[in-house]
Chain A
Amino acid sequence: MMQFMLLFSRQGKLRLQKWYEAHPDKLKKKITRELVALVLSRKPKMCSFLEWKDLKIVYKRYASLYFCCAIENDDNELLALEIIHRYVELLDKYFGSVCELDIIFNFEKAYFMLDELLLGGEVQETSKKNVLKAIAAQDLLQEEETPQGFFEDHGLG
């Protein structure tokens, strides 16, 4: 089971954090700090896995963004890379060649997407089409209830 997933920039700025195991806020921050530093210090030709405490860290860099997740010891790290890749593909389809800025400005959408792919740290849907369909339907619900009139200024903006 995946324990958490972190997205951060090359400068070490956190872009998304999803925790599937409960931790106090302070500990989450400490773990994040530690791992960001650890991953950023790795050289490009090093492999994507590292052992960290009793977990395995799997990370991959896509353009300026690092996708980093922690899996348990008996999990398959090669498959974890596929899960990360699947998530990137989904974001890419949704935003249309996704870049870091998309994720910064639409962080809530990046979370929604992740929540349709994983639940409780496990993959729930292996069809990209189904994930995107569910997201599109929910976006539509949101649009329909947001008044679009001239004087109105609702929604998230």
Chain B
Amino acid sequence: MSTIIRSLTTPTPKRLRDLIREIRSARTAADERAVVQKECAAIRDSFRDPDNTYRCRNVAKLLYIHMLGYPAHFGQLECLKIVASQKFTDKRIGYLGAMLLLDEKQEVHLLVTNSLKNDLGHQTQYIQSLALCTLGSICSTEMSRDLAGEIEKMIKSSNAYIKKKAILCAFCIIRKVPDLLEMFIPSTRTLLNEKNHGVLLTAVCLITEMCEKSPDALTHFRKVVPQLVRILKNLIMAGYSPEHDVSGVSDPFLQVKILRLLRRLGKNDTEASETMNDILAQVATNTDTSKNVGHAILYEIVLTIMGIKSEAGLRVLAVNILGRFLLNNDKNIRYVALNTLLKVVQADYNAVQRHRTTIVDCLKDPDVSIKKCKVTSNFISHSPTKRWHIDTVMKVLVTAGNYVRDDTVSITIQLAAEMKELHPYIVQQLFKNFKDHLDEQSLIQVSVWCIGEYGEHLLTGECGEDEPVQASEDEVVTELEKVLSNHNLNEITKEYAITALMKLSSRFRTSIGFSLLEQMPLIETSRSKNILHENSSENLLNGISEEGDVQKENKKNLQESQNILDILDVGSPTQPAEPPPKSGVNDLLDILGDVANVTSSTAPVSIPNTQPVPMGNDLMDLLGGSPINNQMNGGNGFPPMTAFNKNGLLVEFLIEKDISDPDVTSINIKATNSTQSPMSEFVFQAAVPKSFHLQLNPPSGNSVPPANSGSVTQLIKVKNPSKQTLRMRIKISYSHNGQTVTDMGEVNSFPATLWQ
């Protein structure tokens, strides 16, 4: 009667699915938080109520809330309360909650341990099962000690459903408290006679753990090797059994576990190893490898063969299996093979050598190549000829030059230096290859070093090979200069190039030496600026940089470019001339070095870069590519677009097509300020979908003057090779009256005719 009255007076708590629905329909994170907070308050209230009717539902809701990342620890004790209930639903949710909300560092464990003790002895197997599962999940040290006795009894249960779970609980207990191991050994021994796969599997698992933890157990269980061999044999001989087959392979989970235990038992033990030789060969040859699952078993067997004292023939078989893995289409399998080769190469390099061609061939996969490099560098020390050795190293550098370890460069250089008779060949091969791989730093470093050292062999074009490479002095120097002007290369690589040029200036006979000396300072400054530059381009490629770094760097560049304009007496219409920074006029070459950067400002992908080699061209490029020039050109066929208008800040887009490239649209941004105070630290950022390339040029300044008395302009170039509709997200930040303002917006109203 009282419950009826209560149910009439207090509202029924929200249903679990209704809460989930409500949370999912929240539009913003703040909305979601509000829903959750309201519900948590209601749940807390209901927990105070002695009535148990809805406690289970409330705990379930709390578990959902917990998964979303909200605090839910106040539900811990409630879980224990419903665990003590007589109802199965309560227990099921209660134990689930205990597993999710409690870990072994909680103090409530004594209470859990009591509940577990009760439920382990329950007459319903599913309640016993809940307790076993929870024990396996929490398994603190005290709990392990308190309940080990119960578990030991349950391992002897005749009910396979309970037995397998108890065995895994023993496994958890031993992991946690190894000195409890002894008490489980007698009951474990007979488990391998069972027929049930669950019991067998868990038993093998438990024995493996025992062998890991105790040398005595290891010796003890060596006796079961013949038994394990028999089980494995029965598995592979057994016909199709729908219950345990996975794509034609008989219980792979059990097979793998047994193979792993055999590995443990056969390690450093000749007798045990001999006993398993035959079955290993059988499994290795009889497993169907059309699917991943077959490979899982073969992978395990290779590890076992290589891990025990196996016969030589078997080892060759194992390495051949890995060799076949390398040819597989599935990259997971190739990855595993390379990883394993890395482990076994030390033990058996002769067998591995046979597969070196395959190994080098599968370099093409960038994901795998990291592994590959390790493998290669590991086993090339056993290479048959010097020529093969250097060829392999070069292949590695060409394919994965950015993934090799740092010391690879110096090792390779040393290697090359030692092979005196191969110098012409090496330098010619490197010269041929490095030009096409200007993104592999290590390759370039090695190549450039060798060119500097042995460059004269390039001029003769003789190396005793079928296809010698010949190059003129001019060609060699031009290629080296390309390295210096490439923005994607780091400082160290460029240092290598400069050193090489220096060496060549004395080695090459003609006047190139002279012109080189002239260019050196230019190149050097260009290099140092490129570092700044490199940072900013990296940020942009990653999307909008959160900090204003990019803008700051760009501004620096721009200021410098304007200095040149000052020097060369070119007017600058976009920005009132700022006093030139300290560098001044004294180093014209220095500044010209910078010019190259301004032209190709940030995104190297979108707009073709120009080489800074002939100085005259540079200036032309500067004028062609700078925002200043584009604005003067005018000629835009589109009306100005308002991209942003808020709090007195107006940002307009002046759109025009690029004449030289129909895919490129230039957008001149003009920001004006109608308020009475300036907006300083003005930063404009833009992002476009991945199918577009965006180049954000430096702004004309970072302060928008008040009362529309001036503007900040900035040029964006958007390349749209796939001719899609342009959507742009913009982020604007500035400081106004001492307050930092950040705003975002989306610009979607670009003229439809833009890319037609």
Contact = CB atoms under 8 A, between A and B. Distances in A.
Contacts of A157: 14-18, 57
A142 B88 contact: yes
Given A105-B20, A156-B93, A82 B296 contact: yes
A16 B256 CA distance: 27
Interface string B426-445: 00000000000000000000
Interface string B102-132: 0111000000000000000000101001001
A124 B367 CA distance: 33
B96 A127 contact: no
A156 B24 CA distance: 18
| Candidate in A45, A49, A105, A156 with the most chain B CB atoms within 10 angstroms | A156
Contacts of B731: none
B246 interface: yes
Interface of A: 1, 14-17, 19-20, 22-25, 29, 45-49, 74, 76-79, 81-83, 86, 104-105, 107-108, 111-112, 115, 119-120, 122-130, 134, 137-138, 141-142, 145-146, 153-157
18 contacts: A14-B68, A22-B105, A25-B103, A47-B331, A81-B292, A81-B296, A82-B246, A108-B93, A111-B100, A119-B168, A122-B168, A127-B243, A134-B161, A145-B88, A145-B89, A157-B14, A157-B17, A157-B18
B244 A120 contact: no
B97 to A, nearest CB: 10
A107 B67 CA distance: 10
Interface of B: 12, 14-18, 20, 24, 53, 56-57, 60, 63-64, 67-69, 73, 87-89, 92-93, 96, 100, 103-105, 124, 126, 129, 132-133, 136-140, 161, 164-165, 168-169, 171-172, 175, 197-198, 201-202, 205, 243-244, 246, 251-254, 256, 260, 292-293, 295-296, 299-300, 331-336, 367-368
A126 B332 contact: no
A85 to B, nearest CB: 8
Contacts of B295: 78
B508 to A, nearest CB: 45
Contacts of B331: 45-47
Contacts of B198: 124-127, 130
Contact of A120 (B69, B87, B171, B253): B171
| Candidate in A46, A78, A145 with the most chain B CB atoms within 10 angstroms | A78
A87 to B, nearest CB: 12
Contacts of A142: 88-89, 92
Given A22-B138, A45-B367, A104-B20, 17 more contacts: A15-B67, A76-B299, A76-B300, A82-B253, A82-B292, A105-B20, A108-B93, A111-B96, A119-B133, A120-B137, A124-B165, A125-B164, A125-B198, A153-B15, A154-B53, A157-B18, A157-B57
Given A47-B335, A77-B336, A119 B169 contact: yes
Given A119-B169, A157-B17, A78 B332 contact: yes
